[in-house]
Structure 1
Amino acid sequence: MKLTKETKIGITAVIAFALLIWGLNFLKGKNIIVTSNYYYAVYDNIDGLEAASPVMLSGFKVGVVETIKFHKKQRSRIVIRFSVDKEIKIPKNSKSVIEPANLIAGKLVTLELSDSQEILSKGDTLIGFVKPGLESQLSDQLLPIKEKAERLIESLDSVLSIFDAERRQGLQNSLDNLENITNDVSGLVAEEKVKLSKILSNFESISANLKNNNEKITTVLTNFSSISDSLAKANIKSTILNANKTLAELGEISGKINNGEGTIGLLINNDSLYVNLNKLAADLDKLVIDLNEHPKRYVHFSLFGKKDK
């Protein structure tokens, strides 16, 4: 069937209108395509929460704040309605916590689920709670400091009131001297900045070397530990005593040798053996010479055998 021009224009208009509605809801944080359940939470102060703010569960967006309005009966309280994905089941006694979205601005709702086995139904109300923002925390912490500062200023005013012109001038001179000292220190630091930079670079280099040679250092320490354990287990005291005893005995033997006691002492201290050995060597030398010159005196050889004497 062929569509007329008017029909085509009508279908296009309907589609465009549907897209417009979906786009507006999407900009508000609603997704009309995905089904969801809605719940309520009541607060004394929503701390700047706005419609279309995200609803988070464990850091994941599971819904969006739809409406914010005053309580019908308790006009000082505020009721918010928010939608949550239908797959999310919220136990009874769970909390709806308003907290900062970031450090600068913005709020969001975080769901803190309880351990209850009973599940809330669509349209039930959660426990509302507002977590203090960074501004509130700073304000609470700075308020005591502000009060102390005011009391300190009052005390300083009281103290300064007892100073005459001369004492005030002396105090002013002391402050000027302190400023001069501070300037001198700043100048010295600026002059030595290069040296300080080199020192820090050397420290970084040493630290890097230690890190790179960590395994070798560990091995060396392990070896030292093994040596220490071996020395601790060894009977060093007994070894030293035995060595001292041996040295004493050697000293005693050396003393006897020097005194000419015993065979070794006589050999070392008495030269008679040396003289006799020299004499024997001389006699042997003469015998060898005579043997070479007169061999017949010592060797008898005959073809017919030796005669009986």
Structure 2
Amino acid sequence: MKFTREVKTALLAITAIILLIFGYSFLKGKNLLDSSRTFYAMYDDVEGLSPSSPVTINGLKVGQITNIDFVDQSGLIRVTFTVENDFQFSKSSIAEVYGGSILGGKSLAIIPNYDDPEMAESGDILKSEVEEGIMELVNEKLAPLQEKIESSIVSADSLLTALNEIMDDSTRNNIRSTFKDLGETARSFKGTAYELEGLVKNNSSKLDRTFTNLDEMSTNFNKFSDTLSTMNIGKITNDIESVVADFEKISSNLTNGQGTAGKLLNDDKVYDNLDRATKELEQLLQDIKLNPKRYVHFSVFGKKPGPYEPPQDSLK
């Protein structure tokens, strides 16, 4: 059976049209021979999600975005995507838009709800969410840092302004003078250090003898300490306490008028009698010195002594 030229041309055109349809569908990510299920999700903002973007479950690609369009004039966006039949998930699962890469590519992740036994069917509309992208997270983290940097810049600017107000010509001159004085002080300390070094060198022998003497003193002190440790400190302490007790007893007797010394110190009558006796003895000695014949007689003829006459300064 022979085909005419017209039939061949028609078959060729039909084949070309079919290939064109398959090719166009393939370029758009559609497989006309695929029996996968179709689902929908509504978003206010798809964050740059585009057709042919992958659909994943737990990071595994299970489908792709087939269409994104506006539902009405309110700006609500409907995302159409397909999922292979082998992957089952519940009707209450969530279709979440998330950032696929740092360059801005977005993907759609299905987050299954394993507690819901009712499985999703083709044509169902899933709940929708949008995950914060990398840039949003970066901006969220950088916002407090930016505020701190701006606050630091403002503080630094205020500090510089205050410094400019303080650092007038007089203050600058004072600071220069202070640093100059510090330099002179440092040079003076340096000279003193050199002098001290020379003094130490010139008197090294004396210093050696001094340290030797100190060492001998330390040795003697150690020996003295050893001697003290061998002494009967307890007996010495008891003797001292005994002496102190005797002294306190004597002091108490003197204070209370006990004994001769105590009565002498505390009894005015005894003191007056003793004072009178002392004066009378003094007068007697004075009279013996002035009138020795009155007390010593060498009379050959037995002359009687004259009557006693007290001295002029006798006691009244």
Output the TM-score relative to the length of structure 1.
0.51
CA distance in 1, matches of 2:109, 2:57: 6
In structure 1, list runs of 5 or more residues that go unmatched. Answer: 171-309
Would the alpha carbon gap of residues 4 and 76 (structure 1) be closer, same or farther in structure 2, given more than 3 Å must change?
Answer: closer
Q: What does residue 96 of structure 1 align with? A: 95
Q: What does residue 134 of structure 1 align with? A: 134
Alpha-carbon distance, 1:94 to partner: 0.5
Alpha-carbon distance, 1:36 to partner: 1.8
CA distance in 2, matches of 1:10, 1:89: 44
Alpha-carbon distance, 1:76 to partner: 4.1
CA distance in 2, matches of 1:13, 1:86: 34
* Residue deviations 1:190-227 (CA, integer Å, cap 9, x gap): xxxxxxxxxxxxxxxxxxxxxxxxxxxxxxxxxxxxxx
**Could you say what the CA RMSD is over the residues aligned between the two structures, in angstroms?**
2.2
Alpha-carbon distance, 1:35 to partner: 1.1
**What amino acid is aligned across from residue 129 of structure 1 in structure 2?**
E
Q: What does residue 33 of structure 1 align with? A: 33
Superposed, 1:196-207 pairs within 5 Å as none
Superposed, 1:125-204 pairs within 5 Å as 125-163=125-163, 164=167
The answer to whether the aligner puts 1:86 opposite 2:80 as a matched pair is no
- SS of 2:17's partner is helix
Would the alpha carbon gap of residues 168 and 15 (structure 1) be closer, same or farther in structure 2, given more than 3 Å must change?
Answer: farther
CA distance in 2, matches of 1:72, 1:94: 25
Superposed, 1:279-294 pairs within 5 Å as none
Q: What does residue 211 of structure 2 align with? A: none
CA distance in 2, matches of 1:82, 1:125: 10
CA distance in 2, matches of 1:8, 1:168: 102
Would the alpha carbon gap of residues 14 and 165 (structure 1) be closer, same or farther in structure 2, given more than 3 Å must change?
Answer: farther
Alpha-carbon distance, 1:19 to partner: 1.0
Task: Report percent identity of matched pairs.
Answer: 34
In structure 2, list runs of 5 or more residues that go unmatched. Answer: 176-316
Would the alpha carbon gap of residues 165 and 137 (structure 1) be closer, same or farther in structure 2, given more than 3 Å must change?
Answer: farther
Superposed, 1:1-309 pairs within 5 Å as 1-72=1-72, 75-115=74-114, 116-163=116-163, 164=167
**What amino acid is aligned across from residue 12 of structure 1 in structure 2?**
L
Alpha-carbon distance, 1:72 to partner: 3.2
Would the alpha carbon gap of residues 90 and 168 (structure 1) be closer, same or farther in structure 2, given more than 3 Å must change?
Answer: farther
Output the TM-score relative to the length of structure 2.
0.50
CA distance in 1, matches of 2:63, 2:97: 14
**What amino acid is aligned across from residue 154 of structure 2 in structure 1?**
E
* Residue deviations 1:220-275 (CA, integer Å, cap 9, x gap): xxxxxxxxxxxxxxxxxxxxxxxxxxxxxxxxxxxxxxxxxxxxxxxxxxxxxxxx
CA distance in 2, matches of 1:122, 1:23: 25
Would the alpha carbon gap of residues 77 and 12 (structure 1) be closer, same or farther in structure 2, given more than 3 Å must change?
Answer: same
**What amino acid is aligned across from residue 5 of structure 1 in structure 2?**
R
- SS of 1:79's partner is strand
Q: What does residue 176 of structure 1 align with? A: none
CA distance in 1, matches of 2:21, 2:29: 12
- SS of 1:118's partner is coil
Q: What does residue 220 of structure 1 align with? A: none
Q: What does residue 199 of structure 1 align with? A: none
Residue pair 2:55, 2:63 contacting (<8 A) in 1 also? yes
Alpha-carbon distance, 1:44 to partner: 2.4
The count of corresponding residues between Structure 1 and Structure 2 is: 169
Alpha-carbon distance, 1:168 to partner: 8.7
Alpha-carbon distance, 1:139 to partner: 0.8
CA distance in 1, matches of 2:10, 2:71: 43
* Residue deviations 1:26-79 (CA, integer Å, cap 9, x gap): 111111111121111112221111122121223332222122223338x14322
